[in-house]
Copies of this chain bind each other. A is one copy, B any other.
């Protein structure tokens, strides 16, 4: 991939980002913050590359451990971010289903209404 290709992808992705985010309903802005958090952990790709090297030199060894550390941090985010988003989204229900369950936030992801 040459630089211009990457730049093109980036520019178009910015347009997509602009439109996609504006089309998010305000009621779901909190889940939006949570899910963008989760997806920004795609940095884990870099972390995995570092962690996967078999350290021959000393600095490569350090790099590997830094990578593993980054994998841990990113994983907290990935699992935490998606799980908390799923938990929030499971709570948004339509009228039909409302009167059934009471009070405490049911954590089931089942609500597809």
Instruction: Kindly state the separation between the CA atoms of A16 and B9 in the bound complex, as whole angstroms.
Output: 12
**A5 adjacent to chain B (CB < 8 Å):** yes
Main secondary structure of the interface of A (DSSP, over half): helix
| Nearest Cβ on chain B to A21's Cβ, whole angstroms | 11
Known contacts A1-B5, A2-B1; A16/B20 CB under 8 A: no
State the copy count for this chain. Answer: 2
A residues with CB within 8 A of B: 1-2, 4-6, 8-9, 12-13, 15-16, 19-20, 23
| Nearest Cβ on chain B to A17's Cβ, whole angstroms | 10
When distances are taken between beta carbons in the complex, the residues of chain B under 8 Å from A4 are 1
| Nearest Cβ on chain B to A47's Cβ, whole angstroms | 23
When distances are taken between beta carbons in the complex, the residues of chain B under 8 Å from A1 are 2, 4-5
Are A9 and B5 within 8 A (Cβ)?
yes
Closest residue of chain B to A23, judged by CB?
Answer: B19
Given A19-B19, A19-B20, 6 new contacts (CB under 8 A) = A1-B2, A5-B6, A5-B9, A8-B9, A9-B9, A12-B15
